[in-house]
Amino acid sequence: MVDFTRSPRELELEERTQRFIREVVIPYESDPRLAHGISDEIVREMRAKARAAGLLALQAPREWGGAGLDHRETATLLRAAGYSLLGPLAMNCAAPDEGNIHLLDRVASPAQKERFLRPLAAGEIRSSFFMTEPDGGAGSDPDMMRTTAERDGDHWVINGRKWFITGVDGAGFGIIMARTGEHATLFLTPLPAPGITIERVMHTADEMTPGGHGVVRIENLRLHESSILGAVHEGFRYAQVRLAPARLTHCMRWWGAAKRAHDIATAYAVSRQAFGKALIDHEGVGFMLARNEVDLRQTQLMIDYVAWTLDQGSKASTDSSMAKYSVSETLFQIVDRCVQVLGGRGIVDETQVSRIWREIRAFRVYDGPSEVHLYSLARRLKRNAARS
C-alpha cells in the first residue's frame, strides 16, 4: 500500500525550509550582483547562512553531514527549497552536485569519498559531470560516446570533447564518462587539470547555474587508475544509478519554482482590477489558475509516488522516466499560464515569473528531452507486447 503520511520530522523540516527561503534566500533575488548571472560569491554567502540554520545538504547521508532523508522526505525538502531559484543553490541540493553526491556515496571508494564527496557535501566545492558531446557524439544516446580512455600502464589517457557541461567553470572536480572499448568508464579528476581546457562558456536561456554550461576539450589527460569511479567498463550502469533519482529531484525542485510562479500570478489576479472586477473573476484568468491548482496537485502526487517506489528498493527506471516527461511538460504549462496572467509583468524581470519561465523551459530538454522519454516508453510497450 502506498503511504504518503508525513512524519513530524518531515513537517518540521518543511516549515524550517520554507521560513529560510522566505526570510533569507528570497531577499537575495533583488541583489544587483545577479544582473549578470549567479556568482560563486553569492552562493558562498547563502551557503554560510544555510549551514548556520542547519539546512545544508540535508538530502545527503548522515555520514557526509546530511540528515539521511529517504526519497519521500527529500521530495518535501526540495519542493520547499525550489520555491526560490536560489534555494537549491543555497542549501546545496542543486544539480549537478546533488546527483553527484548520490553517485559518489553509492559508488566511490573510501579514499575518493574523503577527497571529493566530503567537501562537496559540505558545500566547500562544486562539481560537474562530463557526458554530453558535440560533433555528433553522445547526447540522449550515450552509445554514441566519442571521448575515449586508453590504458597506459597504471594510468589512463583520455581524449575528446564535451559540451553543456554544467558548472564546469570553477568546479573543484569533474566526473568524466569515456568509452573504454565497447563499454564506458567513469573517471574522477580534480579541476582545473592539465589536459582539460574550457573552450567557452555557452550563453543559455537559464542563468542560475554557477559556472554556466561549458564546452570542454580533453587532450591527453592522464589519470591514475585510482581515479576510476567504481569499476572499469561500468560507466553506463553507474550513470543509471545517478539518473533515476536525479530525474526525480529535478522534478521536486522545479515543482517549487512553479508553485512560486503560481502564487505570484494568483496574488496579482486577486488584486488587479480590470473591466469592473478582479482579474481572477474573469473566467479566462480564473480558469487558468484553477488548472494550475489541479496540475500542481497531480504532479506532486506523481513525484511522491515515484519517490515512494524508490524507497521500496525499486530502480524506478520506467516510473522516473514517466515522471520526468509528465512533470516537466506540465510544470512548464503552469508557468506559461502564469506569464499570461501577469501580462506585461510576466515577460520582464519585475517579478520572478519571467526568470522561472526561462529556467524551467530547459527542464524539458535536459536529463532526456520529452521525446526521448516517450520513445523509450514506446519501445517498452513494444517489448511487452512481443512477450504477451
pTM of the model: 0.95
Confidence (pLDDT) at 179: 98
Cα separation values, 146 from 10, 141, 180, Å:
44, 11, 10
**DSSP-derived pairing of the beta strands 228-229 and 213-224:** unpaired
Are residues 248 and 373 both part of a single domain? yes
Distance CA 10, CA 13 (A): 5
Are residues 249 and 285 both part of a single domain? yes
CATH value at residue 145? 2.40.110.10
Residue 2: inside a domain: no
Residue 207: inside a domain: yes
- Of the three residues 67, 93, 121, the one that is the final residue of a domain is 121
Are residues 225 and 269 both part of a single domain? no
Confidence (pLDDT) at 3: 85
DSSP labels, 68-110: ---HHHHHHHHHHHTTSTTHHHHTT--TTHHHHHHHHHHH--H
Residues of the chain predicted below pLDDT 50: none
Are residues 177 and 296 both part of a single domain? no
Are residues 75 and 141 both part of a single domain? no
What tens digit of pLDDT does each residue of 48-69 get? 999 999 999 999 999 999 999 9
Each as own residue / partner, the long-range contacts of residues 43-49 (CB below 8 Å, 24 or more positions apart, any chain) are 43/89, 43/90, 43/210, 46/86, 46/89, 46/90, 47/89, 47/90, 47/91, 47/92, 47/123, 49/20, 49/24, 49/90
Residues β-bridged to residue 178? 185
Distance CA 232, CA 142 (A): 16
User: If we measure between CA atoms, which residue out of 48, 62, 131 comes closest to residue 92?
Assistant: 48
CATH value at residue 254? 1.20.140.10
Are residues 156 and 185 both part of a single domain? yes
Are residues 132 and 270 both part of a single domain? no
Are residues 38 and 81 both part of a single domain? yes
Residue 1: inside a domain: no
The H-or-E segment that residue 263 falls in is helix 235-271
CB 238 within 8 A of CB 216: no
CB 262 within 8 A of CB 254: no
Confidence (pLDDT) at 164: 95
Are residues 111 and 132 both part of a single domain? no
Confidence (pLDDT) at 206: 87
Residue 3: inside a domain: no
What tens digit of pLDDT does each residue of 72-108 get? 999 999 999 999 999 999 999 999 999 999 999 999 9
Are residues 354 and 254 both part of a single domain? yes
N residues, the chain:
388
User: If we measure between CA atoms, which residue out of 315, 151, 323, 175 comes closest to residue 251?
Assistant: 323
CB 92 within 8 A of CB 85: no
Residue 48: inside a domain: yes
The C-alpha angle 331, 333, 338, rounded to 5 degrees, equals 95
Confidence (pLDDT) at 233: 97
Q: What is the residue type of 290?
A: A
**Residue 152 has which C-alpha cell?**
597506459
How many domains are contained in the chain? 3
Are residues 133 and 248 both part of a single domain? no
Residue 365: inside a domain: yes
Query: In terms of residue numbers, what domain contains 375?
Result: 236-387
Q: What is the residue type of 361?
A: R
